[in-house]
Amino acid sequence: MSDSDRILATYDVRSTPEEVAGLARRIAYEQTVELPPALVTDPVVCERVLGRVETISSLDSGGGGHPPPGPDGASHRVTVSYSGELANGQLPQLLNLLYGNVSLYPGVALADFSLPPAVAVEFAGPRFGVEGLRRLTGVHGRPLLATALKPRGLPVAEYARIAGEFALGGGDLVKDDQNLVTDFAGFRERVLRCRDAVEGANVRSGRRCLYFPLVSAPLESIDLHFDLVQAAGLRGVLLCPAVLGLDTVRALAARRGLVLMGHPSLAGGLARGMSLPLLFGTLFRLAGVDISVFPDARGRFGFDAATCAAIRERLAAPLGELAPAWPCPAGGLPFDGLGAACAEYGPDTVLLVGGALLGHAPRVEDGTRAFAEGIAGCFPGHRIEPAAREEPPAGPEFLPFRPEFEWGGRESAPYRTAAADSDPAPFRGVRRVELVGRFGEPTGSDLRYFEVEAGGHTSRERHVHSHIIIGARGEGRLVTGNREVVVRPNDVAFLPPLEVHQLRNETKEPFGFFCIVDHLRDRPLPA
């Protein structure tokens, strides 16, 4: 791997000129081999694993374009490079590599990093980004106006009223407050009623205001919440990347066709050891956030204007093949700060106004209109495309059974695996019909039908995912590590993880069975 394929990490450290070289070397060891130098002798480890100190400079001599993130009194900037392979193309490991253990060093903050193309390409980033959200809203050439449903504790009807009035007044995006946490029934009621209010307003306005509910739930029910959001026809959600974990966000971005709006809750803890533009710009975007909410300098969190500008730049800067994401300054933007915010952030910005908008006029619709007109006035060339017709959601799918164990709408295929060319052939005389799971269905389980001809057999294999088998036709033998049973129609077998198994047909008639597996599953291992 060449030097241009290395990850560069920049740390701002508190040290003395005499000790900084030693500290830099300790960082390089800590983040890679985590052993004293005397024990690091393996040449492969030294060449391919050990980090390298690239540069050390005094912070007095001027470093990056934004103030050092801390620690207080940082004196030097140290750059360490790591082999790109060490990130494994995985976000948790990238975080671990860049800042895992040295996050515990008292005087070391992560100021910046850069990824070589071969590493950046492993990250998909925002699914929608700037262009995707413009398509969904139909708004071009100006910032989007967003608000939050708050405070917690109001009846659902009140949130729905605010959302509907905001949409009627010309708002573009209304999201839940990050505190609106309830049980699933409460979530369902809020999602459906706010959706109805916004969609009702859209019918009247001809516009496409979006509603993004907050998904904050125990991990076990995150998918359930996303399922409901998608089934309800909504196009995005609000979530808190620092609370959920950045990789949970990345996985949701990859798996769901939804706009992800990232709220900064809890991120301030991380940000004390990390530069703010790096966290809210680069890292949130790597995790797939389409809209990154952060405190505007005019608000109540004490961010400075240079930091906000650097966050905006990071969200749009070239980064592998990643789409640019939206900056979303928030946290107390006042009405009279609107013009300045428009000038500073430019058109590709979501302006999130909560309390100031709700308190601007007795009716939310009027407050929204005032803000919307304020923004529109700053961008005379903007345009709004009328709402397009949505495709109806997919309905149920029915696959009628046909003679000879075929199904309408599905094709039968000979069974193939990567090992099919090996000798002796690991399977013989097997055909497969993929019934559910390979056709974009939102399913947790896949259903397949396998048929083994007379004298044939499946591969002898094992895998971590479990199997459920239901006999369907004829008679075959299920052979496992320590057992052999005959499978006839409607017999059921459960194969636990890593159980070796093979299905054999020693009769003169076809032997068919249904096989149910997890939709996300591992590849078979040799037995």
Q: Which is nearer to a second copy, 240 or 372 (CB)?
A: 240
Neighbours of 399 (CB within 10 A): 14
**Whole-number CA gyration radius for the chain:** 28
- For residue 229, what are its two tokens? 């959001």
Window 36-55: residues binding a second copy (CB under 8 A)? 36, 38-40, 42, 44-45, 48-49
One DSSP character per residue, 198-232 reads HHHHHHHH----EEE-B----GGGHHHHHHHHHHT
- 328 is a catalytic site residue: no
Q: What angle do CA 161, 166, 170 make, to 5 degrees?
A: 150
Residue type at position 76: H
Q: Which is nearer to a second copy, 31 or 79 (CB)?
A: 31
Dmax (CA) for the chain in angstroms is 85
Q: Could you tell me which residues are beta bridge partners of residue 470?
A: 492, 514
- Indicate which single residue of 10, 32, 79, 368 sits in contact with a second copy (rule: CB under 8 A): 32
Window 323-362: residues binding a second copy (CB under 8 A)? 331, 354-355, 358-359
- Indicate which single residue of 370, 384, 516, 527 sits in contact with a second copy (rule: CB under 8 A): 516
Q: Where are the beta strands (DSSP E) in 125-242?
A: 139-140, 144-149, 173-176, 210-212, 236-239
Window 86-115: residues binding a second copy (CB under 8 A)? 86, 88, 90-93, 95-97, 99-106
Whether the CA torsion 456, 461, 463, 467 is positive or negative: it is: positive
Name the segment binding a second copy (CB under 8 A); options: 10-18, 57-65, 130-138, 149-157. Answer: 149-157
Minimum distance from residue 2 beta carbon to a second copy (Å) = 18
Name the segment binding a second copy (CB under 8 A); options: 197-205, 374-382, 453-461, 515-523. Answer: 515-523
Name the segment binding a second copy (CB under 8 A); options: 134-142, 298-306, 342-350, 412-420. Answer: 298-306
Residue type at position 179: N
- Indicate which single residue of 125, 129, 262, 264 sits in contact with a second copy (rule: CB under 8 A): 264
Using CB atoms within 10 Å of the CB of residue 92, give its burial: 0 to 12 exposed, 13 to 18 middle, 19+ buried.
middle
- Indicate which single residue of 382, 470, 506, 507 sits in contact with a second copy (rule: CB under 8 A): 470
For residues 343 and 414, give the distance between their C-alpha atoms in angstroms, rounded to a whole number.
62
Q: Which is nearer to a second copy, 378 or 452 (CB)?
A: 452
Q: Which is nearer to a second copy, 176 or 348 (CB)?
A: 176
Window 361-420: residues binding a second copy (CB under 8 A)? 393-401, 405, 407
Asked whether position 506 contacts a second copy by CB under 8 A, the answer is no
- Indicate which single residue of 435, 452, 456, 457 sits in contact with a second copy (rule: CB under 8 A): 435
- Indicate which single residue of 124, 228, 317, 361 sits in contact with a second copy (rule: CB under 8 A): 228
- Residue 388 backbone dihedrals phi, psi, to 5 degrees: -95, 160
Window 113-132: residues binding a second copy (CB under 8 A)? none
Q: Which is nearer to a second copy, 127 or 142 (CB)?
A: 127
Name the segment binding a second copy (CB under 8 A); options: 204-212, 283-291, 419-427, 464-472. Answer: 464-472
For residues 24 and 79, give the distance between their C-alpha atoms in angstroms, rounded to a whole number.
8
Minimum distance from residue 427 beta carbon to a second copy (Å) = 19
Q: Could you tell me which residues are beta bridge partners of residue 110?
A: 11, 274
Asked whether position 464 contacts a second copy by CB under 8 A, the answer is yes
Asked whether position 308 contacts a second copy by CB under 8 A, the answer is no
Q: Which of 194, 209, 328, 515 is catalytic?
A: 515
Window 157-176: residues binding a second copy (CB under 8 A)? none
116 neighbors 87 (Cβ within 8 angstroms)? no
Minimum distance from residue 496 beta carbon to a second copy (Å) = 6
- Indicate which single residue of 171, 213, 295, 456 sits in contact with a second copy (rule: CB under 8 A): 295
Asked whether position 75 contacts a second copy by CB under 8 A, the answer is no
Asked whether position 292 contacts a second copy by CB under 8 A, the answer is no
SS3 at position 272 = coil
- Indicate which single residue of 272, 428, 460, 477 sits in contact with a second copy (rule: CB under 8 A): 272
Q: What angle do CA 496, 498, 502 make, to 5 degrees?
A: 85
One DSSP character per residue, 72-115 reads TT--EEEEEEEEGGGGTT-HHHHHHHHHTGGGGSTTEEEEEEE-
Minimum distance from residue 509 beta carbon to a second copy (Å) = 16
Q: Which is nearer to a second copy, 21 or 384 (CB)?
A: 21
Minimum distance from residue 134 beta carbon to a second copy (Å) = 28
For residues 98 and 87, give the distance between their C-alpha atoms in angstroms, rounded to a whole number.
9
Asked whether position 135 contacts a second copy by CB under 8 A, the answer is no
For residue 51, CA distances in Å to 26, 30, 33, 464 come to: 10, 9, 8, 35
Strands 326-330 and 350-352, by their bridges, are unpaired
Minimum distance from residue 25 beta carbon to a second copy (Å) = 12
Minimum distance from residue 320 beta carbon to a second copy (Å) = 17
52 neighbors 29 (Cβ within 8 angstroms)? no
Asked whether position 427 contacts a second copy by CB under 8 A, the answer is no
Catalytic center residues: 515
